[in-house]
Chain A
Amino acid sequence: MTGAAALALASHWRRHPLQLFTLLAGLALATALWSAVQAVNAEARAAYARAAEQLGAAGYDRLESRSGAFMDVAAYVALRRAGWQVTPVLEGRMRLGPDRVTVVGIDPLTHPSLPALDEAAGRVQPGELLGPRGLLLADAGTAARIRARPDLPPVVEVEQIPPDTIITDIGLAERLLGLPGRVSRLLILPDQPQGIPPLTEIAPALERIDAAARSDMARLTDSFQLNLTAFGLLSFAVGLFIVHGTTGLAFEQRRPVFRTLRALGLPARRLTVLALAEMVLFATLAGGAGLVLGYLVAAALLPGVAATLGGIYGVPAPGSLTLRPEWIAGGMGMSLAGALLAGAQALWRLRRLPILAAPGQHAWGLAAARTDLALGAGGLALIAAGGLAMVLLDGLIAGFALLAGLMLGAALLLPPILGLILRLPLPRRAGAPDDPLAEWFRADMRAQLPGLSLALMALLLALAANIGVGTMVASFRLTFTSWLDQRLVSELYVTARDDAQGAQIARWLRPRVDAVLPIRAVELRAAGQPVFVHGIIDHPVYRDNWPLLDAAPGAWERLARGEGVLISEQLARRSGKWTGARLALGPGWERIVLGVYADYGNPTGQAMVSMEDLLEHARNVPNRRFGIRVAPERVPELIGALRAAFDLPAGALIDQAALKARSLEIFERTFVITGALNILTLGVAGFAILTSLLTLWSMRLPQLAPLWALGITRRRLMRLEILRSVALAGLTAMLALPLGLVLARVLLSVINVEAFGWRLPMHLFPLDWLRLLLLALAAAAVAAAIPARRLTGVPPSDLLKVFANER
């Protein structure tokens, strides 16, 4: 009996292979998008964890200066001489070829064992690490770049070191980084002697940070990953709409089979179990396919993520994708849970299926009025909850809670609102006769709403997300380019081979151009993070072109007098220091924040002091880069003259246009992943409409047959079908617009600030909306066309049969 019942259930799928495909594809898509995001996140997390472990940061409490600046090596010695067993770490970024790499300097004598050092042990001569030339440890990729630089010490390849990272002796690190006598942090070793004085007594300027506190990198990129996860969940939800639609359809269509099986004596429990087993089987199949697909999507997305992590946050990026068991388990779990969630309603109805009840093709429609009320109340409650979260919580979580509340609430409100719109009386010319077909059309749309509502919700979410994210990215791009125009004022940028050549070039240039602006900076630690401190000369070009978001009166004059510092928005937000606050840039070097400037797209914090101030407090400030003000038409000639006069390395001369292009390219790379997910979500939503319409199709025939009998041609009916779908999609798109704009607003003023560290003005792009609207209409038309085309092919006899045999 059970076998026969299973066969009977399976026969449905044999006869409806498209439905089977839709169900499997929906589940697979949902699983794929979700697990792709998870895979990317897992790789990123693994990269940080590996970095933290390799750099010896894992497992030890650490001491950092309260001001967040570098500490002096004297602070280390003082603690040691008081008995504290601590070990110093100096960390900074160094230019290597076109990119920057992280240099981690440790004291091998006092530092606890490092996996990387153990790996290198067999291949390194004792004492070489501390030898006069020193030794660098790096992975193969970084090692190759190091070897290309003959001025750097020899390198030993150690696979365990994260990419773009060099581990070396602290003595060599301070020379490479130009940070003599500086220490980033002290690790507190586990074995401390008896009777040492408390830290508060000997090192009041240092702060003890628990080993359990997460690494800077993980904290920094949390927001980014949360962002990805939110996208993943959105995709998953949209995918579930598809599955829900299909299972609903399959249930409706198999109702007679279920009734027959029950009537033949199959217990309700066994029938439910069979249906459940079928669901689990599908979930497993689709989950497996989804995992494969997800793996491919993740592999495609990973370079974009790596670019974002490296470009925006300056953290080691995940290298390649590996298959992790937890990822596979998670993907399959989500697939199963999703399938059961989507199929729960069908299973529930199956369990309570009255054997003898009449076929319920109107069931959805009858319940609609009640449902509308519940949906409306639920939607409003969700929106209110999101708003409340914004008030009660803060930061990124609040932003996401608000977004989730808004999006889900709006999605729930969609069917009641559409229902209301469709109930509005049609504007009618006075005296014009009733148009019964138009009335039927509207009534039919209302009747179809419940069946289509899930697909429309998916469309609403996808469209709103698209508008919101699109507006955010486009606003960003607009702001960024105009900011670049303001900021990149020099017509030509020169990088010399070394400081000596830099000085020569500057001397040579001075009589030939309008101004030579030296670009000199060192990387320091301030407010607990790496900060590039630039020294600027007193020149009107800065005050005329450097847009300040916030400034004290006479900021530029005071900066020139060496009284203070201007800092970038990222630094201000991360450190909470705004105009008027004091910022420590190093021991004995504390300055008032005179203003804050926008610095979009920069991974590290930036600060500007007067050149004199910088040179007085920082040693080994490179003097190799210059911005040159000169009439634009003289640039090519000047480039030729410079090349003729000096032996300049490749890429040493960059004109303004090239630099802008390069900056924009970095910007675009950053948002590749956002764009990709956006398109995928929209694609899934289109698919959801298609499946819903296919679902409804089987129930349409009895409703269309009377119209055909009344004389409306099949072709006309097909056009009406398509029109109906397009109209619903259009209405949904209209409603998605305000929702998308609210989403953009939240993204720009809440999420962006948290995730990237800058606030952006919002710009509106109506042409983009129009494009999106057309895309939605087209998707709806295509989705409706497929089932509607069948209508034209239905033989009249089938339409007649409708009257003969009620299901």
Chain B
Amino acid sequence: MNARTLCALMIAVLALTVQTPEPARAQGFAGLGADAEGFAPVRPGVPLRFPADHGPHPDFRIEWWYLTANLTAADGTEYGIQWTLFRNALRPGEAEGWRSPQLWMGNAAVTSARAHRFAERRARGGIGQAGVTLSPFTAWIDDWRMEGPDDLSRLRLRASGSDFSYDLTLQARGPLVLHGRQGYSVKSAQGQASYYYSQPEYDVSGTLVLPEGRVEVTGKGWLDREWSSQPLAGDQAGWDWFGLRLDSGEKLMAFRLRGASGDFTAATWIEADGTATALAAGAFEVEPLETARVAGREVPVRWRIRLPGRGLDVEATALNPQSWMGTSFPYWEGPVRISGSHAGRGYLEMTGYEARGADAAR
């Protein structure tokens, strides 16, 4: 999945309880294990319909439009960018004006081996400050925008923070990939699930504006779309998510949810032509090899990933171990390099690594 950064859920909390992590932990990262009462349930066998499903699903509690890209400048410098729009509903449904129960949060970042720059935006639904519409497709929060035709075949992506901005053009190569059973992606042995699809293959070109100047870049992008009402089991504290693009043209989406009663893993293998196969539970093995101290906590920054059935045995190493998103709901998100049986690049996301001792306060 990219069971990513479900942080969104608790946007509402942040104004009030940023400093009380305990109750949040009891319900999984960012409260994602909370009850889904009143919200639409995620059921197997519901076919996804496009382009409607590119738009928002206000009856579900959480949803995101999540784009990452591995980019290279003309001088060979590697960069990664992230553009994410989270939707979180306090109650199902939509309403006009400030009464809207929909809350939005944007996260954006530009990462190189030397620096990780990020920014956050928050907005209420109902007033036009943030949202997602179709015809044409537009996902926005403040001046951050992801826009293009309704089939998402082309996208223009813009975001800015106090020390960076980017403006990128994306062109899709290949079909959308539905994860799990036709987009029904299971998240725990108890049956928690989400709707989850991706466009894992975009050609990307454009400009990053950094303190050192304008940088023209090209590379590959990956869009994740996911929505749910209760994607985590109550005891699941966080996850490790990998989106790997191998030089062979094959791709792997894999995640591990860390639970008190054992880990839960799932993965999708994507052929070079875009054909996707959901891998059997347990087919994906992952093991942290090395950690770094990031924002007061130990976070794995080098991983061993194995798919014995596919002859894949690689190491994924963070381009910048300090790719910490110090946002309202902090997490680690950054580009990785792949070496071993296969070479390539990709993105890694890790949530739920708690800070220890006094550092926990920040």
Which residues on B are within 8 Å of A, measured CB to CB?
10-17, 19-20, 31, 90-91, 97-99, 101, 103, 119, 122-124, 127-129, 140, 142-143, 160-165, 209
Interchain CB contact (< 8 A) of B11 among A109, A171, A180: A109
Chain A 125-150 near chain B by CB (<8 Å), digits 1 or 0: 01101111000000000000000000
- List B contacts of A169 (CB < 8 A): 98
Whether B140 lies near A81 (C-beta < 8 A) is yes
Q: A109-B124, A194-B161, A196-B143 are in contact. Are A129 and B15 (CB under 8 A)?
A: yes
CB of A730 within 8 Å of the partner chain: no
Whether A193 lies near B162 (C-beta < 8 A) is yes
**Complex Cα gap A118–B161 (Å):** 26
Q: Considering the complex, give the chain A residue whose CB is closest to the CB of B160.
A: A193
**Complex Cα gap A110–B127 (Å):** 14
- List B contacts of A80 (CB < 8 A): 123, 129, 142-143
Interchain CB contact (< 8 A) of A193 among B20, B119, B122, B129: B119
Q: A109-B15, A126-B13, A129-B16 are in contact. Are A194 and B209 (CB under 8 A)?
A: yes
- List B contacts of A120 (CB < 8 A): 16
Task: Tell me the smallest distance from the CB of A434 to a CB of chain B, in Å.
Answer: 93
Task: Tell me the smallest distance from the CB of A74 to a CB of chain B, in Å.
Answer: 8
Whether A81 lies near B143 (C-beta < 8 A) is yes
Whether A107 lies near B124 (C-beta < 8 A) is yes
Whether B90 lies near A127 (C-beta < 8 A) is yes
Task: Tell me the smallest distance from the CB of A87 to a CB of chain B, in Å.
Answer: 10
CB of A91 within 8 Å of the partner chain: no
Interchain CB contact (< 8 A) of B142 among A73, A81, A130: A81
**Complex Cα gap A181–B96 (Å):** 10
Whether A170 lies near B129 (C-beta < 8 A) is no
Whether B16 lies near A117 (C-beta < 8 A) is yes
Whether A130 lies near B161 (C-beta < 8 A) is no
Task: Tell me the smallest distance from the CB of A539 to a CB of chain B, in Å.
Answer: 36
Chain A 53-94 near chain B by CB (<8 Å), digits 1 or 0: 000000000000000000001101100111101000000000
- List B contacts of A191 (CB < 8 A): 162
**Complex Cα gap A413–B128 (Å):** 71
**Complex Cα gap A109–B15 (Å):** 6
List, sorted by A's number, 18 A–B pairs whose CB atoms are closer than 8 Å: A73-B97, A77-B128, A80-B123, A80-B142, A83-B160, A85-B142, A124-B16, A126-B17, A129-B15, A130-B12, A130-B90, A130-B101, A171-B97, A171-B98, A174-B98, A193-B143, A193-B162, A194-B160
Interchain CB contact (< 8 A) of A131 among B90, B97, B119, B124: B90
**Complex Cα gap A171–B99 (Å):** 6
Task: Tell me the smallest distance from the CB of A170 to a CB of chain B, in Å.
Answer: 6
Q: Considering the complex, give the chain A residue whose CB is closest to the CB of B210.
A: A194
Give chain B's interface secondary structure class.
Answer: mixed
Interchain CB contact (< 8 A) of A109 among B17, B99, B103: B103
Q: A81-B129, A83-B143 are in contact. Are A127 and B19 (CB under 8 A)?
A: no
CB of A588 within 8 Å of the partner chain: no
Task: Tell me the smallest distance from the CB of B117 to a CB of chain A, in Å.
Answer: 11
Whether A73 lies near B127 (C-beta < 8 A) is yes
Q: When A and B form their complex, which 5 residue pairs have the shortest distance between CB atoms, in order from nearest?
A: A171-B98, A108-B15, A126-B13, A83-B143, A193-B160
- List A contacts of B10 (CB < 8 A): 126
Q: Considering the complex, give the chain A residue whose CB is closest to the CB of B15.
A: A108
**Complex Cα gap A362–B101 (Å):** 90
- List B contacts of A129 (CB < 8 A): 12, 15-16
**Complex Cα gap A129–B13 (Å):** 10
- List A contacts of B99 (CB < 8 A): 171
**Complex Cα gap A82–B140 (Å):** 11
- List A contacts of B119 (CB < 8 A): 193
CB of A504 within 8 Å of the partner chain: no
CB of A260 within 8 Å of the partner chain: no
Whether B17 lies near A121 (C-beta < 8 A) is yes
Q: Considering the complex, give the chain B residue whose CB is closest to the CB of A171.
A: B98
Chain A 171-200 near chain B by CB (<8 Å), digits 1 or 0: 100100000110000000001111110000
Whether B140 lies near A194 (C-beta < 8 A) is no
Give chain A's interface secondary structure class.
Answer: loop
Q: Considering the complex, give the chain B residue whose CB is closest to the CB of A83.
A: B143
Q: A121-B20, A180-B97, A193-B143 are in contact. Are A77 and B162 (CB under 8 A)?
A: no
**Complex Cα gap A121–B13 (Å):** 9
**Complex Cα gap A109–B160 (Å):** 19
- List A contacts of B163 (CB < 8 A): 194
- List B contacts of A170 (CB < 8 A): 98
- List B contacts of A111 (CB < 8 A): 15
- List A contacts of B127 (CB < 8 A): 73, 76-77
Q: Considering the complex, give the chain B residue whose CB is closest to the CB of A121.
A: B16
Q: Considering the complex, give the chain B residue whose CB is closest to the CB of A79.
A: B142
Quick one: which of A108, A110, A124, A127 has the most chain B CB within 10 A? A127
Q: A77-B128, A117-B16, A194-B162 are in contact. Are A82 and B97 (CB under 8 A)?
A: no
**Complex Cα gap A120–B122 (Å):** 21
**Complex Cα gap A730–B99 (Å):** 72
CB of A122 within 8 Å of the partner chain: yes
Q: A77-B128, A82-B143, A170-B98 are in contact. Are A194 and B165 (CB under 8 A)?
A: yes
Which A residues between 375 and 404 are near B, CB-CB below 8 angstroms?
A: none
- List B contacts of A81 (CB < 8 A): 128-129, 140, 142-143
**Complex Cα gap A202–B269 (Å):** 48
- List B contacts of A122 (CB < 8 A): 17, 20
Q: Considering the complex, give the chain B residue whose CB is closest to the CB of A105.
A: B98
**Complex Cα gap A121–B122 (Å):** 19
Interchain CB contact (< 8 A) of B165 among A77, A108, A193: A193
- List A contacts of B14 (CB < 8 A): 109
**Complex Cα gap A110–B123 (Å):** 7
Task: Tell me the smallest distance from the CB of A280 to a CB of chain B, in Å.
Answer: 51
**Complex Cα gap A790–B14 (Å):** 80
Whether A127 lies near B13 (C-beta < 8 A) is yes
**Complex Cα gap A120–B161 (Å):** 31
- List B contacts of A109 (CB < 8 A): 11-12, 14-15, 103, 122-124
Whether B129 lies near A126 (C-beta < 8 A) is no
Beyond A80-B129, A109-B124, A194-B209, 20 additional pairs, beta carbon < 8 A:
A74-B128, A77-B128, A80-B123, A80-B142, A81-B143, A109-B103, A111-B15, A117-B16, A126-B10, A126-B31, A130-B90, A130-B103, A170-B98, A181-B97, A192-B162, A193-B119, A194-B161, A195-B165, A195-B209, A196-B160
Q: Considering the complex, give the chain B residue whose CB is closest to the CB of A78.
A: B128
- List A contacts of B140 (CB < 8 A): 81
Interchain CB contact (< 8 A) of B16 among A73, A126, A132: A126
Task: Tell me the smallest distance from the CB of B167 to a CB of chain A, in Å.
Answer: 10
Which A residues between 477 and 494 are near B, CB-CB below 8 angstroms?
A: none
- List B contacts of A192 (CB < 8 A): 162
Whether B122 lies near A110 (C-beta < 8 A) is yes
- List A contacts of B90 (CB < 8 A): 127, 130-131
- List B contacts of A107 (CB < 8 A): 98, 124
- List B contacts of A193 (CB < 8 A): 119, 143, 160-162, 165
Task: Tell me the smallest distance from the CB of B21 to a CB of chain A, in Å.
Answer: 12
- List B contacts of A194 (CB < 8 A): 160-165, 209
Task: Tell me the smallest distance from the CB of A687 to a CB of chain B, in Å.
Answer: 58
- List A contacts of B161 (CB < 8 A): 193-194
Q: Considering the complex, give the chain A residue whose CB is closest to the CB of B209.
A: A194
Q: Considering the complex, give the chain B residue whose CB is closest to the CB of A106.
A: B15
- List A contacts of B129 (CB < 8 A): 76-77, 80-81
Whether A126 lies near B91 (C-beta < 8 A) is no
- List A contacts of B20 (CB < 8 A): 121-122
- List A contacts of B98 (CB < 8 A): 73, 107, 169-171, 174
Q: Considering the complex, give the chain B residue whose CB is closest to the CB of A192.
A: B162
Whether B122 lies near A126 (C-beta < 8 A) is no
**Complex Cα gap A111–B16 (Å):** 11
- List B contacts of A73 (CB < 8 A): 97-98, 127
